Structure 1
Amino acid sequence: MASCCPADLSAVPLVALNMTIRKKLSLYLNPRTMVAADWTMVAEAMGFSYLEIVNYQQVPNPTKRVLDDWQASSSEATVGKLLSILEEVERNDVVEDLRPLMEEDVRKYYESLKKRAVRPLQVPEVDSCIPRTPQGSGLTLEDNPDGSPELFDAFICYCKSDITFVHEMIRELEQTDHRLKLCVFDRNVLPGSCVWTITSELIEKRCKRMVVVISDEYIESDACDFQTKFALSLSPGARTKRLIPVVYKSMTKQFPRILSFLTVCDYTNPYTQTWFWERLAKALSLP
């Protein structure tokens, strides 16, 4: 089982650490003491400014907030880098106590990715279940029988309640001179396979980018949360401009912090609505 955990933790994104580890880190680092480095020194080592750190003092759990924002905004946000920062600020007690738990989280994270990426093999004895298309094909409507996968310009992450806007997106981006190809799950994906496996393969291997349709309903959706975090783990710090958040209606809930570092395409702003589709299409057309 240990082989599932890479030796180089500096290559493991921080998203691999679950909430239990983050809670334990908060218990160690939240208390302000004179004898040991606290979360403020960790935040400073992560590159946060003085003003940012002062503002973090106002939140109930500053350690958790710092970890979440660092994960969302920095390409250096890895498990290995976190451990090196803890050693740098001389919190070896935290490293000694939590490193085994972190390595276990990393092992589970990579096992989970492997399960989502690899489709189960058919049992040879069940002749009627022998797949008629090669592994990895037969997921979408236009997958070719010869095994050539259907590719897309963007995966659309949305809630069922936002489907009307998704239809408008299809009209504006696919059925105009832009001629983009969007992956809309309810339209393009064939039924009968594991949702998580299909989603992971589409986001990672079939789609150049992902458009995230932000709404109050999106914030409550477990499926959208998984899709967003999975896409972010593929491009820490948005180095490849992989995610594009879109807001198309007013919201009563707070905009998700995990996406707050990205430039938003805002359909609700009447002053920029004229350029909305052109800007979005251009972003999706980039190599």
Structure 2
Amino acid sequence: MCATKLCEDPEVDLRQIPLVALNVSVRRRLSLYLNPRCTVAADWTTVAESMDFEYLEIKNFETSKNPTLMILEVWEARSTNATVGKLLDILEASERRDIVEELRPLIDVDVKKYLERQSEPPVQVPEVDSCVTRAEDRHITMGDEMFDAFICYCQSDFQFVHEMIEQLEKTDYNLKLCVFDRDVLPGSCVWTITAELIEKRCKRMVVVISDEYLRSDACDFQTKFALSLCPGARSKRLIPVVYKTMSEPFPSILRFLTVCDYTRPCTQGWFWSRLAKALSLS
């Protein structure tokens, strides 16, 4: 049996079927096989490496309750190569043919339903049978515009983020910030849309550093994802901002970057103009 051909229709190449075709039930079933760390068979870490995730990303995925589901969502958001056929190829190459044989009937059903939906005339909104955001219809923010910066912050630091909005958006700087609680529409997968916004919709990323930031899984993921982007995308550089005194050490992963420090009275006078200049660079 060819793993990349649909059993009922050998003319259908699964390498051309986007991963969005897979229903949540298949994803959960796949997680049951791959989530347990195993010394005798390939687990989710092997699959993540085959999807070209870097070491820092994989270490961050370990904090998730369902790392398999997370890598599928992030892979789908950032790679045009995220197809059903490619996933089966990865499982085969990882010597997990047991998973392929077990899930193949369910996958064929999902692919058949996906192709049927694609052939239907667009009279009404297609039936949604998965919690995964469609790659081809990703209306995830209030508008479709590009942003000058994605703001990585904790809820406890939102008052400073609000001041940032007042200083950078509602002044002559006229910058457009992506603030998750304000700009992202509800009902979408947090990890998927965060990855897409950082990589494709935001020119820079401002990281609001605080003690609370150091304990935030979401901020940790956002920072490491931005750092893991390919060298060509690293021009969308991170800008660490410290606005209050910290009791914890500054994160070592960001120590190589120049910090915009609001805690020093002698530099507060040009804090906002310096930050705005960094964000407005082409």
TM-score by length of 1: 0.57
Alignment partner, residue 75 of structure 2: 114
In the TM superposition, residue 162 of structure 1 has moved relative to its aligned partner by: 0.6
Alignment partner, residue 243 of structure 1: 238
Alignment partner, residue 142 of structure 1: 143
From 18, 24, 28, give the equivalent of 2:59: 18
Give % identity: 61
In the TM superposition, residue 117 of structure 1 has moved relative to its aligned partner by: 3.7
In the TM superposition, residue 275 of structure 1 has moved relative to its aligned partner by: 0.7
Question: 1:80-95 residue pairs with structure 2 within 5 A?
Answer: none
Contact 2:153 2:213 survives alignment (8 Å)? yes
- Given the alignment of the two structures, is residue 232 of structure 1 paired with residue 227 of structure 2, yes or no? yes
Alignment partner, residue 268 of structure 1: 263
Give the counterpart letter for 2:164 in structure 1: M
Contact 2:205 2:236 survives alignment (8 Å)? no
- In structure 1, C-alpha distance between the alignment counterparts of 2:49 and 2:69, rounded to whole Å: 8
Give the counterpart letter for 1:113 in structure 2: V
Question: 1:129-278 residue pairs with structure 2 within 5 A?
Answer: 129-130=126-127, 135-143=136-144, 150-234=145-229, 240=235, 242-278=237-273
In the TM superposition, residue 234 of structure 1 has moved relative to its aligned partner by: 1.1
- In structure 1, C-alpha distance between the alignment counterparts of 2:59 and 2:146, rounded to whole Å: 32
In the TM superposition, residue 142 of structure 1 has moved relative to its aligned partner by: 1.3
Deviations 1:198-239 (A, max 9, x none): 100000000001000001111110000000000000156995
Indicate the SS of the match to 1:231: helix
- In structure 2, C-alpha distance between the alignment counterparts of 1:5 and 1:202, rounded to whole Å: 23
Indicate the SS of the match to 2:173: coil
- In structure 2, C-alpha distance between the alignment counterparts of 1:110 and 1:191, rounded to whole Å: 21
Contact 2:151 2:178 survives alignment (8 Å)? yes
In the TM superposition, residue 129 of structure 1 has moved relative to its aligned partner by: 4.6
Alignment partner, residue 30 of structure 1: none
In the TM superposition, residue 113 of structure 1 has moved relative to its aligned partner by: 3.4
Alignment partner, residue 71 of structure 1: none
Give the counterpart letter for 1:189 in structure 2: V
In the TM superposition, residue 135 of structure 1 has moved relative to its aligned partner by: 2.3
In the TM superposition, residue 179 of structure 1 has moved relative to its aligned partner by: 0.4
Aligned residues: 192
- Given the alignment of the two structures, is residue 279 of structure 1 paired with residue 274 of structure 2, yes or no? yes
- In structure 1, C-alpha distance between the alignment counterparts of 2:213 and 2:48, rounded to whole Å: 33
Runs of 5+ consecutive residues of structure 2 not aligned to the other structure: 1-41, 61-66, 84-109, 129-133
- In structure 2, C-alpha distance between the alignment counterparts of 1:113 and 1:241, rounded to whole Å: 19
Tell me the C-alpha RMSD between the 2 structures: 3.8
In the TM superposition, residue 138 of structure 1 has moved relative to its aligned partner by: 1.3
Give the counterpart letter for 1:153 in structure 2: D
In the TM superposition, residue 17 of structure 1 has moved relative to its aligned partner by: 5.3
Runs of 5+ consecutive residues of structure 1 not aligned to the other structure: 20-104, 144-149
Indicate the SS of the match to 1:272: helix
Indicate the SS of the match to 1:114: helix
In the TM superposition, residue 155 of structure 1 has moved relative to its aligned partner by: 0.2
- In structure 2, C-alpha distance between the alignment counterparts of 1:269 and 1:237, rounded to whole Å: 34
- In structure 2, C-alpha distance between the alignment counterparts of 1:136 and 1:204, rounded to whole Å: 17
- In structure 1, C-alpha distance between the alignment counterparts of 2:279 and 2:181, rounded to whole Å: 20
- Cα distance change, pair 277–117 in 1 and its aligned pair in 2 (3 A): same
TM-score by length of 2: 0.58
Indicate the SS of the match to 2:277: helix
